[in-house]
Amino acid sequence: MKTLLALNWKMNKTPSEARSWAHELSEKYEPVPGVELAVMAPALSLSVLAANLPAGVGFGGQDVSEHESGAYTGEISAAMLADVGARYVVIGHSERREYHLETDAQVAAKAQRAQANGLTPIVCVGEKLDVREAGKQVPFTLAQLRASLAGVGEDLVVAYEPVWAIGTGKTATAQDAEEMAAEIRETLRELYGEGASEIRVLYGGSVKPDNIAEICGQPNVNGALVGGASLKVPDVLGMNDALR
């Protein structure tokens, strides 16, 4: 299984900036055996990435409609993402859960829709600070995971992102990441049996070049979902190299 370095640009970069970023990456990128790089970009930039990313670098969306098509103004369908060549789509990011009030049931419906259209969903789970301070992060996250995966097949990626570590500079320790990733793996085994060992579990939250190797070196952590450090090509190259 390849380590997945998944870059989440969030609401950053115009299509023109995406093109420049992809060109800069193409000039300097050297693939690392055992590492897969993929960019989760705003929908408007996906066609630009399709045309300009180096060979072997994948891309995906940051959200998808739970509906197949129809009168849902402003939404992007899984078929649209697939048609421009997306491989992945991030679903249930904490920012979607917080600012768009997405429920676990919607996350599960979106993940099913993504899979039905040949996309691999990256399903995000993770606790807020008050939950961690109360010591309830494991039961909270596992309950969120189970509900978010209801009816979802095993072609997926799970991203554990403790909300208190996102964009704050506070990184969970590698041990914190491993402890939760191992719990998630156990739950995936209950849900999917042996197939669970093929499901990548990522960590996300203030990952950068100088901490990615230790985090991704944990036995149950199979990659990272990176926000802030995904925006500048030198940081991305630094993270890629750190996984060499």
Ligand X SMILES: O=C[C@H](O)COP(=O)(O)O
Residue 17 structure tokens: 């900036």
**Per CB under 6 A, which region of 105-113, 180-188, 212-220, 221-229 contacts ligand X?**
221-229
Determine if residue 77 is labeled as part of a ligand binding site. no
Determine if residue 206 is labeled as part of a ligand binding site. yes
Q: What is the length of the chain?
A: 244
Determine if residue 228 is labeled as part of a ligand binding site. yes
205 lines the binding site for ligand X (CB under 6 A): yes
CB of 150 to ligand X, least distance (A): 23
227 lines the binding site for ligand X (CB under 6 A): yes
Q: How many CB atoms lie within 10 A of CB 56?
A: 10
Helix (H) or strand (E) segment spanning residue 99? helix 94-99
CB of 157 to ligand X, least distance (A): 12
Q: Which of 141, 132, 119 is nearest to 187 (CA)?
A: 141
CB of 73 to ligand X, least distance (A): 26
> Collapsing DSSP states into helix, strand and coil, what is residue 191?
helix
Q: Which residues, 6 or more positions from 164, have their beta carbon under 8 angstroms from its beta carbon?
A: 127, 128, 129, 132, 170, 205
Q: Which of 32, 102, 93 is nearest to 61 (CA)?
A: 93
Is the Cβ of residue 42 or residue 227 nearer to ligand X in the bound state? 227
Active site residues per annotation: 93, 161
141 burial via Cβ count (<10 Å: 0-12, 13-18, 19+): buried
CB of 175 to ligand X, least distance (A): 18
Per-residue x/- mask for ligand X, residues 2 to 41, rule CB under 6 A? ------x---------------------------------
- The annotated binding site is made up of 8-10, 167, 206, 227-228
- Contacts with ligand X, residue ranges (CB under 6 A): 8, 93, 161, 166-167, 204-207, 225-229
